[in-house]
Amino acid sequence: MTALDVSTIIALLREVSRTEIMPRFKHLSAMDVTTKSGPLDPVTVADEAAEKALTAGLHRLFPGVDVIGEESVAKNPDLLKRLKLPGKVWIIDPIDGTANFAAEIPLFGVMLALVEQDEVLAGFLHDPICDDTAVAIAGGGAWMVNADGTRHRLRVAAPVPVNQMVGTVSWRYMLEPMRSHVLHRLDRIGSLADYRCAAQQYRMLASGHCHMQLFRRLYPWDHAAGYLLHKEAGGYGRHFDGWPYIPSEIDGGLLLAPNEESWMLLQQALLL
């Protein structure tokens, strides 16, 4: 991916955020918010409008490349099979952190990932509030691009003992007995939170502002871009059983840490 590609993608993210997302922030009516799989899975008119605009923009920039988004998959789950087929495909999360967006909490983001046969090639995590974008290119590192065009490299936090780690744990979708097993071990971590926004949590992790994260459900629009960002910032992530992450696998959980040794210590502390 060229520098021109990166700059045009960031420009698209900024444009869609400016025209489709931010004008609707704090201006949603009750009719503008519905649910998909349940009350904890909201969708807004801003999600739908942003995905439509991003899809059109990506088709314009990259003719012939397939695009799938969270909202399109909600209507047609078979679209996920596309990730295993030959050829590049863009994955869109138009608003990650929709619950925060609908609650007028300024903690949400837009996520794009470029995938080819289950390998993540590029990831973009844009913050519409701050107007900056975390970018990762496979083999090319991770960096933050500010609104004025300046940029700096991202690096994960230095390893620390498990009882000093700061991080996030999402246990909402865990099934028993794993749910109880993990919850009874959370006091082994130094400090934990859940910001209801994977985009911002991955940005924190790759910037070195926390040490670890644990996710149970792995839809690719929530994790493909963030996983690559963390990896290119020097981090180590695997499924709970140690297998490498692949975007089409939505089960198996994901544990992320500063390095392999820290990951193994976290696996022992929380999962085994």
Angle at 250 between CA 249 and CA 252, to 5 degrees: 85
Q: Please tell me whether the overall predicted TM-score, pTM, comes out greater than 0.85 for this model.
A: yes
Q: Cβ-count burial of 229 within 10 angstroms (0-12 exposed, 13-18 middle, 19+ buried)?
A: buried
pLDDT of 3 reads 81
Rounded to whole angstroms, the maximal C-alpha distance in the chain is: 50
DSSP, collapsed to helix, strand or coil, labels residue 149 as: coil
Find where tokens 């590192």 sit: 141
- Each residue's pLDDT expressed in tens, for the chain with a length of 272 residues: 788 799 999 999 999 999 999 999 999 999 999 987 767 778 999 999 999 999 999 999 999 999 999 989 988 988 988 898 899 999 999 999 999 999 999 999 999 999 999 999 999 999 999 999 999 999 999 999 999 999 999 999 999 999 999 999 999 889 999 999 999 999 999 999 989 999 999 999 999 999 999 999 999 999 999 999 999 999 999 999 999 999 999 999 999 999 999 999 999 999 99
Residues in contact with 226: Cβ distance below 8 Å, sequence separation at least 6, in sequence order: 111, 123, 125, 198, 199, 201, 202, 203, 205, 206
Strand partners, 119: 116
Question: Would you say domain 3-153 falls under CATH 3.30.540.10?
Answer: yes
| First vs last C-alpha separation in the chain | 40
Domain ranges of the chain: 3-153, 162-271
Closest by CA position to 213, among listed 244, 167, 149: 167
Distance separating alpha carbons of residues 129 and 17, to the nearest angstrom: 9
What does the pLDDT look like over 95-105, one tens digit per residue? 999 999 999 99
Distance separating alpha carbons of residues 94 and 47, to the nearest angstrom: 5
Q: Which CATH code for domain 162-271?
A: 3.40.190.80
pLDDT of 4 reads 77
Residue 77 has what DSSP assignment? G
